[in-house]
Structure 1
Amino acid sequence: MKLNTREWGSGDRVALLVHGIMSDSRTWRLVGPALAERGYRVIAVDLRGHGASGRGEYAPADYADDLAETLPGGADLAIGHSLGGLTLSLAVDRLQPERAVFSDPAWHFVQPEQGFDPAMFVQFAAMATRETVAAMNPRWAAEDVQVELDTLAVWDPATATALSGLADFAVLPQKPVVPSLVQVADPSFLLSAEDKETLRERGFEVRTVEGAGHTIHRDDFAGFMTSLDGWI
């Protein structure tokens, strides 16, 4: 599936951005311009079921195939957050960017009794208000709260229910396909201390953004950009 894209900048270098579940390309409202100022042409996708992209089946392989069909190969940089991190990791061998950044990637799904229930995403979206989103994300700017509401309004909840078939799914990469950084929230509900050590042993650089929530680029934009030193 060809995905809807959003672009910033016209530099000689190319950066690719892949958002997480319930979001879309608008989540990168600060990151896109910041990379453009650094000389990148930035391309952000709306994953299937999100934003202005089409709907369909919602398996990880489908998301990855869409990236390979939509985005240019050989980009200088690719960043994927959460579900976008998982998706990027499944497409990176085809996209072959010079560098990849996996921002608190969804490389694990666990059973509901262990804290993960896809129905929670659907319930949250149905009940979300400016007040509830702001209360759950006290460090977000007002603009990010509005973006969250706008993206939820066009999100297909079936993307979440499809995850129920991925209980106990684990795809912690065996090795980086290209030089790769893993950004980790503090605390992260997706990557444990053991996961971080395993990733380091497998050749990934791992950096924790202290005090940042799961959506690092919205929770602590300055910390997000600082953690990219040497990678952008």
Structure 2
Amino acid sequence: MRLHTREWGTGDRSALLVHGIMSDSRTWRLVGPALAGRGYRVVAVDLRGHGRSPRGEYSPRHFADDLVDTLPVGADLALGHSLGGLALSLAVDRLRPLRAVYADPAWESPDPEQALDPEMFASGKNVTREHIARSNPRWAAEDVDIEVATLADWDADTSYFLDGRPLTGYAPTRPAVPSLVQLADPSHLVGADDAARLRASGFEVRTVPGAGHTLYRDDFDGFMKSLDGWI
């Protein structure tokens, strides 16, 4: 499936951005221009079921295959957040970017023995602006407004892509390309043992101190500093 994309910049280098569940390419409002300012042509997708992209069947493999159908091979950088990190990891061997960054990737459930509750995610479509602002006190007002808009355009059926099964078994055993994993503080998706295993298998792992799951909206400067040497 060909996905809707959003672009910033006209630089000689290329960067690909893949958002998380319930969001879309608008979430990169600061990251896209920042990378463009460093000489990148930045392409951000709306995953299927999100933003202006088509709807359809939902599974990790579908999300990954859509990236391959839409994005160029051999980009200088590919960055995926949460579900976008999962999708990117399943597509990275085909997209072959020079470097990959996984921002608090959704590779494992907080409790691998417990199934994710899709209704919990689906109910998020109806949260109020006030609830979003209260739950994310470090977000700028514009980010809160974008979250409201992206939720309105999101197909809540994407919540059911695991059919009630735990999210487990998706963490890569080794990096297909030089790879950085950025973690929230603390991360509820990549624990200390997981981080140690990733380091041992060749990933670089960095934490953005004090940041929650949406690292780049909680602490944009800290998020960008965490990318030193990778962008």
Which TM-score band applies after superposition, normalised by the shorter structure? Answer: over 0.9
SS at match of 1:6: strand
Q: Does 2:64 align with 1:90?
A: no
Matched letter for residue 160 of structure 2: T
1:73-129 residue CA offsets vs partner (Å, 9 max, x unmatched): 000000000000000000000000000000000001366985842211111222x11
Q: Is the 8 A contact 1:110 1:169 kept in 2?
A: no
1:167-224 residue CA offsets vs partner (Å, 9 max, x unmatched): 2432111100000000000011101000000000000000011100000011110010
Q: Which residue of 1 aligns with 2:81?
A: 81
SS at match of 2:35: helix
Structure 2 CA distance for aligned equivalents of residues 19 and 135 of structure 1: 22
Q: Does 2:201 align with 1:188?
A: no
1:111-169 residue CA offsets vs partner (Å, 9 max, x unmatched): 6985842211111222x111100011010000000000000001001100223344243
Q: Is the 8 A contact 2:107 2:167 kept in 1?
A: no
Matched letter for residue 133 of structure 2: A
Q: Alpha carbons of 1:57 and 1:111: their partners in 2 closer, same or farther (altered >3 Å)?
A: farther
Identify which range, 196-205 or 112-121, moves more after superposition.
112-121
Q: Which residue of 1 aligns with 2:30?
A: 30
Length-normalised TM-score, structure 2: 0.97
Where does structure 2 lack aligned partners over 5 or more consecutive residues?
none
Q: Which residue of 1 aligns with 2:157?
A: 158
Q: Is the 8 A contact 1:110 1:167 kept in 2?
A: no
1:57-76 residue CA offsets vs partner (Å, 9 max, x unmatched): 11100011000010000000
RMSD: 1.4
Structure 2 CA distance for aligned equivalents of residues 229 and 110 of structure 1: 28
Structure 1 CA distance for aligned equivalents of residues 142 and 53 of structure 2: 22
Q: How does 1:41-60 map to 2 (within 5 A)?
A: 41-60=41-60
Structure 2 CA distance for aligned equivalents of residues 19 and 174 of structure 1: 23
Q: Alpha carbons of 1:98 and 1:113: their partners in 2 closer, same or farther (altered >3 Å)?
A: closer
Aligned identity (percent) is 68
Structure 1 CA distance for aligned equivalents of residues 142 and 224 of structure 2: 18
Q: Which residue of 2 aligns with 1:67?
A: 67
Q: Which residue of 2 aligns with 1:105?
A: 105
Runs of 4+ residues over 6 Å off in structure 1: none
Matched letter for residue 97 of structure 2: P
Structure 1 CA distance for aligned equivalents of residues 163 and 108 of structure 2: 12
Where does structure 1 lack aligned partners over 5 or more consecutive residues?
none
Matched letter for residue 188 of structure 2: F
Identify which range, 169-178 or 159-168, moves more after superposition.
159-168
Structure 2 CA distance for aligned equivalents of residues 7 and 105 of structure 1: 23
Q: Is the 8 A contact 1:81 1:104 kept in 2?
A: yes
Q: Which residue of 1 aligns with 2:138?
A: 139
Q: Which residue of 2 aligns with 1:171?
A: 170
